[in-house]
Chains A and B, each alone.
Chain A
Amino acid sequence: MAERTHETIESGAPDPMPYMHPVMKNNYGKWVFHSHPKPGVLYHRAENGDEIWTVKAGTQRQMDHYTIRKLADIADQYADGYVRFTTRSNIEYMVTDQAKVEPLIKALSDNGFPVGGTANSVSMVAHTQGWLHCDIPGTDASGVVKALMDELYDEFVKCEMPNRVKLSTSCCEINCGGQADIAIIVQHTKPPKINHDLVANVCERPSVVARCPVAAIRPALVNGKPSLEVDEKKCICCGACFPPCPPMQINDPEHSKIAIWVGGKNSNARSRPTFHKLVAAGLPNNAPRWPEVGAVVKKILATYKADGRPWERMNDWIDRIGWPAFFEKTGLPFTKYHIDNWRGGRNSLNASAHIRF
C-alpha cells in the first residue's frame, strides 16, 4: 500500500444542514400544510408562509456517474441546486418558485426520468443487489425492477390507485427488499445441492447446523470427508444454510421460483402495520424480462385499482372484501401452500363462523 497521509476521522452520519435547501433549513420543524397539486409534485407551506414545491422523479438507483451528473446539472439549471433521495431511490428537487415547476418537470422528462411516485401512485420498487453484487442471489434485482417499472410506468406517473402502493423485490427469502403492498421474492423449491468436497474447508459446520430453522441439517461423514447432510423431508428450502456455507448451493435455474406476496404495510395509518402474505408462487425466474411476474403483479394492481375504495391500502382493501374474494377477483389459485403451518400459524386460521357468501 502506498504511504498513507490521511488519518481516519470516525465522523459517522454527516450533518444534513450544509446540504439542505435553505427554505427547508429555515423552517425546520415549522411546516403546517402540504398538498398534492399534480402527480409527482408536492407543495409544502411553513408557519411563516414560506412555500416550497417538490418535484419527484424515478431513477434506476444503480446509477453511472454520468446519470448522477445529469441529475446534478438539472438541479442547477432548473431547480435551486438542492435534492434529496427517498427510501425508494426516487430523487426529489425542491424549488421555492412555482414558475420553476413545469420547466423542471420537462427537463426531467426530456432526460428520461419519469416524474411521479407521489401520493396514490405506484412508487419505485425497493430492491436489493441481485446478480450485480450479491453473493447469494437467486435472481437479479435491478433487472427485475427495470422490467417491472417499464410495465408499471403509467401507474408511477399517474395517481390513480385507491392509496399509495409500495413494491419491493428480493433475490432470496431473506427478503432484504422488505415488507410491501406487493413484494416479489425468490422462493426456492428444492433442498440445497451439497458439494461434499468443499464443506469441511469452507464451512463452520456447527454454525451452519444452527442456522437451519427446522433442524434439518446434521454433521455427517460423506466419502470419508467431514461434511453436512440435509434431511430432505424436513427441509423447507429456505436457503438459510447457503450464506454461511456456499457449497450448499440453494440456487437453481429451474427450481428457484418467484413468489408474490401482498398486503404488507409499515405505516400505522388505519390498521396496525402488517406483514405481506403469500398469494402466488411457482413463477419462473424468467430473465431478462420476467413477463410471468409482471403479469401477476399487473393483475393484482388492476383488481385493487378497480375494487379498492379511496384511501384503502392493499391490506385495507383485502381486509374489507376478505381473502376468498381476493382470490376470486384476481383469478389466482388458492392452494394448501397458502395455509401457514409454521409456528404461530394457528393465528392465521379463521377461528369463527364469519364466512362471506
Chain B
Amino acid sequence: MAKQMHNTPNLDELEKGPWPSFVTGLKRLAKDNDMAVDLMGQLEKSYETRFGYWKGGTVGVVGYGGGVIPRFTELKDENGKPLFPEAAEFHTLRIQPPAGMHYTSDLLRNLCDAWLETGGSGLIAFHGQSGDIMFQGIKTEDVQRSFDKFNEMGFDLGGAGPALRTSMSCVGAARCEMSCYDEARALRTVINNNLDDMHRPSLPYKFKFKFSGCPNDCVNAIQRSDMATIGTWRDSIRADEKLAREWMASHSVEDLTNMVVSMCPTRAIRLVKNDGAPAGEGITKVAVSDANCLEIDNHNCVRCMHCLNVMPGALLPGKDKGVTILVGGKGVLKIGATMGTVVIPFMKLESDEDFEKLNDLARNILDFFAENALEHERTGEMIERIGLVNFLEGLDIDVDPNMIVHPRTNPYVRTDGWDEEAEKWFERKAAA
C-alpha cells in the first residue's frame, strides 16, 4: 500500500481557494489507497491532454442487468499494460438513497465502512444527477460483494442504461409547508412496484420519474423526468391574517405592490381596501393592515407559487390537494430539450386507492413507452413523433384544455369526427 504519489501540478491548482476541494479529498485517500493514487494519475493526464480516458464495458451483479457503471482505463503502454494499473478498473455502484435523501450520522458512517470493507476506493458522491449515491471506484472482482453488503443494509442498486432510473423527491412533507402530497410515498410506490424495469434494462431508452411537492418543483421534475408528479391544489389559497400583518409590518405598500401584486402572472391578485366585506366565492381575502387587504381570484390563479414564496405562512396551498402529472421532459438528445406537458391536470393523492391509481398510470405509461417508442427514443420524443392525441388515446386519457397553451393554429387536420368528439365533451361535462 501507499504507492508513491504521481506529480499532479494541474490538480494541485484545485486545492487553492475557499471552496471544499475534491482534490484534497483524493489526496487524503491516496495516503493509504493505491487506487486513489492511480486515479489521480489518470485524472492529471486528462488535465494535461484535455481528453477523457475511460471506456465502458459489462460489469454487473447476479440477477441484475444494470446499476453498475463500468469504467476501464484506456491509458495503456505499447504492451497493453495500464499506465495506472491500480485504477485500471474504476467502476461506480449507483445506490438508491432513502427518498428525500435523509441520513443519520450513523448511516453515513456505515455506508463509508461498507464501501471500504468491500474494496471500494473510499470516494462517494452525494448524489448523482439522477439522485443515486454514487460509490465511485471499485474493481470488477469486488463489485458483487460490495453490492451484497449494501443490499444486506437495506440498500439496492439504481438504474442505468435503457431502464427505469433512480428517482428523486423533494424534502416536501418532511419540512415544507408548500408540500401538497406525500412525495416519499409516491416515489416508493411508483419505483418499488416497477423494479423489474430498473434492474433488468429492456426499455427503448431511459425512463425517469420525479416527484415535487409543489409547483416550485425543487427536483426539476418538469424538465428532468419522463413523468413528473407535481403537487398542487384546486380550492382556494389559505391565508393567515396574523402572519400577513407581520409580513406587512416589515415591508411597505410599495414592496407589496412590486413584489407580490404586480408579479402575479395572471393578475389574479389585487390590493383592495380593508372594508370588512366578506370574500366572494373563490376569493381569498386577507387583511395585511388596517387599510388594505390582498384579494386573490383563485379561479384565475395558476398555482405558480410566487405569492406563497414571498409571503411564507401568510399564504398557503389550499386544503383540497393533489397532483398534476406531466409527461415527456428530457434533455438534449435527439430533438432538443423538452419540458413535460400536462396529461393529468389534477388527481387526488391521499388514499390508498389514489396511490394505486398513480401506480397504475405510471405502469401504463411505462408499458406504452415500451411498446411504442423507437430504440433510443425518450417518451417526449415518442410523443413528438406520434402526437399527444395518439398518446392520450393509447392510455385512455380524455383530452382537456389544460393540456394546451392554445388550440392549433393551422388547418392541417381531418375533422370529420367533430360531432362525435363534441358529444363526448358534453357527456363528460354532464357526468362531472
Give the B-binding residues of A (Cβ under 8 A).
1-2, 4, 6, 8-16, 18-21, 24-25, 28-29, 31-35, 44-45, 52, 54, 58-69, 71-73, 75-76, 81-87, 89, 91, 94, 112-114, 126-140, 142-143, 146-147, 149-150, 153, 173-179, 207, 210-211, 213, 238, 240, 246, 251, 253, 256, 266-271, 273, 275, 285, 287-289, 309-311, 342-344
The answer to whether B375 and A210 touch across the interface, beta carbons within 8 angstroms, is yes
Q: Which of B64, B216, B337 contacts A268 (CB 8 A)?
A: B216
The answer to whether A73 and B105 touch across the interface, beta carbons within 8 angstroms, is yes
The answer to whether B217 and A268 touch across the interface, beta carbons within 8 angstroms, is yes
Q: Is B382 positioned at the interface, with any CB of A under 8 Å from its CB?
A: no
User: Which residues of B, 216-258, contact A by the 8 Å Cβ criterion?
Assistant: 216-224, 230, 240, 243, 255, 258
Binds A, one of B10-18, B274-282, B359-367, B414-422: B10-18
The answer to whether A133 and B19 touch across the interface, beta carbons within 8 angstroms, is no
C-alpha spacing A127/B19, complex, angstroms: 15
Given A60-B21, A94-B175, A271-B265, are A147 and B14 neighbors across the interface (CB < 8 Å)?
A: yes
Residues of B within 8 Å of A15, CB to CB, are 98-99, 184, 188
The answer to whether B188 and A13 touch across the interface, beta carbons within 8 angstroms, is yes
C-alpha spacing A251/B154, complex, angstroms: 40
Chain B interface residue number, banded: 35 or more
Q: Is the interface of A mostly helix, strand, loop or mixed?
A: loop
The answer to whether A175 and B331 touch across the interface, beta carbons within 8 angstroms, is yes
The answer to whether A63 and B335 touch across the interface, beta carbons within 8 angstroms, is no
Q: Could you name 20 residue pairs across A and B whose Cβ atoms are closer than 8 Å?
A: A4-B62, A8-B61, A13-B156, A14-B154, A14-B156, A24-B174, A35-B313, A62-B136, A65-B122, A83-B103, A84-B101, A85-B103, A133-B71, A133-B90, A135-B71, A143-B47, A147-B14, A266-B222, A267-B218, A275-B337
Q: How far is the CB of A254 from chain B (nearest CB, A)?
A: 8
Given A14-B96, A33-B177, A211-B334, are A83 and B105 neighbors across the interface (CB < 8 Å)?
A: yes
The answer to whether A66 and B101 touch across the interface, beta carbons within 8 angstroms, is no
Q: Is B49 positioned at the interface, with any CB of A under 8 Å from its CB?
A: yes
The answer to whether A269 and B305 touch across the interface, beta carbons within 8 angstroms, is yes
Q: Which of B52, B126, B173, B312 contacts A34 (CB 8 A)?
A: B312
**1/0 per residue B39-61: CB within 8 Å of A?**
10001001101111111100001
C-alpha spacing A251/B51, complex, angstroms: 7
Q: Which residue of B lies closest to A139 (CB)?
A: B50
**1/0 per residue B351-382: CB within 8 Å of A?**
00000000000000000000000011000000
Q: Which of B47, B100, B375 contacts A288 (CB 8 A)?
A: B47
Q: Which of B28, B108, B156, B333 contacts A240 (CB 8 A)?
A: B333
The answer to whether A12 and B191 touch across the interface, beta carbons within 8 angstroms, is yes
The answer to whether A253 and B51 touch across the interface, beta carbons within 8 angstroms, is yes
Q: Is B192 positioned at the interface, with any CB of A under 8 Å from its CB?
A: yes
Residues of B within 8 Å of A139, CB to CB, are 50
Residues of A within 8 Å of B13, CB to CB, are 288-289
Residues of A within 8 Å of B49, CB to CB, are 253
The answer to whether A114 and B18 touch across the interface, beta carbons within 8 angstroms, is yes
Residues of B within 8 Å of A35, CB to CB, are 312-313
Q: Which of A114, A134, A287 contacts B54 (CB 8 A)?
A: A134
Q: How far is the CB of A186 from chain B (nearest CB, A)?
A: 11
C-alpha spacing A9/B182, complex, angstroms: 25
Q: Which residue of B lies closest to A152 (CB)?
A: B19
The answer to whether B144 and A269 touch across the interface, beta carbons within 8 angstroms, is no
Given A32-B316, A64-B122, A268-B217, are A76 and B105 neighbors across the interface (CB < 8 Å)?
A: yes
Q: Which residue of A lies closest to B141 (CB)?
A: A1
Q: Which of A45, A174, A273 contacts B331 (CB 8 A)?
A: A174
Q: Which residue of B lies closest to A146 (CB)?
A: B14
Q: How far is the CB of B110 from chain A (nearest CB, A)?
A: 10
Q: How far is the CB of A322 from chain B (nearest CB, A)?
A: 18
Q: How far is the CB of A158 from chain B (nearest CB, A)?
A: 13
Q: Which residue of A lies closest to B167 (CB)?
A: A13
Q: Which of A137, A266, A310 contacts B217 (CB 8 A)?
A: A266
Q: Which residue of A lies closest to B104 (CB)?
A: A19
Q: Which residue of A lies closest to B214 (CB)?
A: A268
Q: How far is the CB of B278 from chain A (nearest CB, A)?
A: 24
Q: Which residue of B lies closest to A45 (CB)?
A: B313
